[in-house]
Amino acid sequence: MDSKVRLHITGPLYGGQQAVLSKDQAHYLSGVMRLSPGDTITVFDGASGAWRATIDAASKRGGTLTLGDRVAPQRDPPDIWLCFAPIKKARTDFIVEKATELGAARICPVTTRYTNSERIRRDRLQAHAVEAAEQCGGTFVPPVDEIVTLAKLLDHWPDDRALIFCDEALSDDPDWSGEGESNPWPPAPAAILIGPEGGFAPAERDRLRAHPQAMAVGLGPRILRADTAAVAALTVWQTTQGDWT
């Protein structure tokens, strides 16, 4: 049986290769999806496209696959990062899932002065990104970075990367207001920065304002929650500068 199941496995992948499944993956194929030896699934490693693979064996103790033909080329997203201050667990998970679907190239959790959650489980968020790519037909999984402070992120900001920041409080500032509505958003390489629910601290705002590559943008007349702002900003960028055009 040709199943629609897609699994991310460690590469590099090549035709004829025998690949070892993790216990969780083998259990998922046999116990949850009820697949048997001889059934085919699709696998990808995040770098070399998607491949058809035949199940050799799969049980709750483990399993193996044999790779056949490559069925889709590798497709990387445009070079857009999403930097965001973690919020409540379910909403942080949601941001990672949606950023993967919408084609973020990198996910950077950032702690700011008014961030409530200073810690993240990086491995858990990375697993969410993998699952989103598996579910949504992607061949790319954005890396999820360890959390850094906003100060450190800005200290090491790449010279060539635009920094698009979304801050409701800043939209009210007459010096900045409307900049993002009249000027086009910058092309890749770029990054979107979503502030915490409490906004940026005055010192952080001053630093962002003074940053030569930074640009404040507004996201409409209603106040958006941080998770909504992340999805909306990625959508606007993808439709104007990314690969939706």
Residues near a copy of itself (CB under 8 A): 75, 77, 94, 97-98, 101-103, 135-138, 181, 218-225, 228, 231-232, 235-236, 238-239, 242-245
Closest approach of a copy of itself to the CB of residue 180, in Å: 10
- The three state secondary structure string of the chain is CEEEEEEECCCCCCCCCEEEECHHHHHHHHHHCCCCCCCEEEEECCCCCEEEEEEEEEECCEEEEEEEEEEECCCCCCCEEEEECCCCHHHHHHHHHHHHHCCCCEEEEEECCCCCCCCCCHHHHHHHHHHHHHHCCCCCCCCECCCEEHHHHHHCCCCCCEEEEECHHHHCCCCCCCHHHHCCCCCCCEEEEECCCCCCCHHHHHHHHHCCCEEEECCCCCCCCHHHHHHHHHHHHHHHCCCCC
**CB-nearer residue toward a copy of itself: 152 or 225:** 225
CB of 235 vs a copy of itself, minimal distance in Å? 4
Smallest gap, in angstroms, from Cβ of residue 232 to a copy of itself?
Answer: 5
By C-beta, is 94 or 157 nearer to a copy of itself?
94
User: 31 or 220, CB closer to a copy of itself?
Assistant: 220
β 80-84/106-111 pair status: parallel
Q: Kindly state the smallest distance separating residue 195's Cβ from a copy of itself, in Å.
A: 15
**Minimum distance between the CB of residue 239 and a copy of itself, rounded to whole angstroms?**
6
Question: What sign for the dihedral angle of Cα 228, 194, 177, 160?
Answer: negative
In the complex with a copy of itself, the residue whose CB is nearer, 67 or 226, is 226
Of 129 and 150, which CB lies nearer to a copy of itself in the complex structure?
Answer: 129
Q: Please, which residue, 62 or 78, has the CB nearer to a copy of itself?
A: 78
234 close to 100: Cβ distance less than 8 angstroms: no
Least spacing, CB of residue 159 vs a copy of itself, in Å: 29
Shortest distance, position 77 Cβ to a copy of itself, whole Å: 8
53 vs 230, which CB is nearer to a copy of itself? 230
Cα radius of gyration (the chain): 20
